[in-house]
């Protein structure tokens, strides 16, 4: 969609979600932002209002289906959502010992169920009016399971494949679906990493790039290209060949 006017963004209190909100904020645009940190979300809203946007915020957890459905129903009573960016996500991992049970369930609840809780209620309305666009934030980690972050990799793979699968069906309703697979972006999530992150990109730069590409409704937005090519190739190779390589990669520290 070239110039969306009513935009919903989850995880807007920090990182890439905040960068999206600021990048899209301008006169005539209405932003509907959610997050879990009140102070940070209010700061995002304040900065977007300075740019001339109308902003409404909601403190909620995307894993709460009832809360997400009620929020989107409330928005749709007065505004037809043009663009929904399912951005909220978490990571985890315990360096040296893997993810514990609670981390695993929380990651899937937020990254996978939370994405469905965001897009499915909105799609219902978009189908009715045969218009709209969905952007799902996945990751380059979705192309190959990483031993250091198994739940993160798997949850991002699930939403990537789901987004690519529903794209064909929803095109019949004039609804665009794009899956975004970034590499390392500087956010609070990656700030805890103690290992080198090649081609690390700022959240603002990533938001500008994604916004520009979303205008053409691509099936997939993956970057930076070099890392995309590497992980795509690794995902195509037999696990028996790549396991020894991935086992040597650093694990995420526990957040």
179: which strand partners? Answer: 136, 220
| Residue 90 near residue 110, CB atoms below 8 Å | yes
Does 152 qualify as catalytic in the annotation? Answer: yes
Candidates 152, 162, 184, 228; catalytic one: 152
Distances (CA, A) of 71 to 34, 49, 68, 89: 10, 21, 5, 18
Distances (CA, A) of 111 to 1, 27, 29, 60, 231: 24, 31, 27, 14, 20
H-run or E-run covering 246 = helix 239-247
Tokens for 215, please give them: 């205008």
Which residues are known to be catalytic? 152
């Amino acid at each position: 969609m070239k110039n969306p006017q009513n935009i919903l963004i989850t995880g807007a209190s920090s990182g890439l979600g905040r960068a999206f909100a600021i990048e899209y904020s301008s006169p005539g645009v209405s932003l509907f932002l959610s997050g879990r940190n009140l102070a940070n979300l209010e700061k995002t809203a304040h900065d977007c209002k300075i740019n001339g946007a109308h902003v409404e915020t909601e403190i909620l957890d995307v894993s709460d289906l009832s809360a997400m459905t009620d929020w989107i129903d409330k928005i749709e009573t007065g505004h037809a959502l043009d663009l929904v960016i399912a951005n909220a996500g978490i990571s985890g991992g315990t360096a040296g010992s893997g993810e514990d049970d609670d981390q695993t369930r929380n990651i899937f609840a937020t990254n996978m169920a939370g994405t469905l809780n965001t897009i499915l209620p909105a799609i219902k309305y978009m189908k009715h009016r045969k218009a709209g666009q969905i952007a799902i934030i996945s990751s380059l980690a979705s192309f190959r399971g990483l031993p250091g972050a198994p739940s993160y990799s798997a949850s991002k793979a699930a939403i990537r494949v789901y987004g690519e699968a529903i794209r064909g069906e929803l095109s019949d309703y004039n609804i665009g679906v794009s899956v975004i697979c970034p590499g390392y972006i500087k956010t609070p999530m990656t700030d805890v990493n103690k290992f080198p992150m090649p081609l690390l990109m700022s959240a603002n730069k990533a938001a500008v790039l994604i916004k520009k590409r979303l205008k053409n409704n691509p099936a997939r937005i993956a970057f930076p290209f070099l890392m995309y090519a590497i992980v795509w190739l690794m995902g195509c190779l037999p696990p028996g060949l790549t396991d020894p390589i991935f086992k040597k990669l650093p694990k995420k520290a526990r957040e």
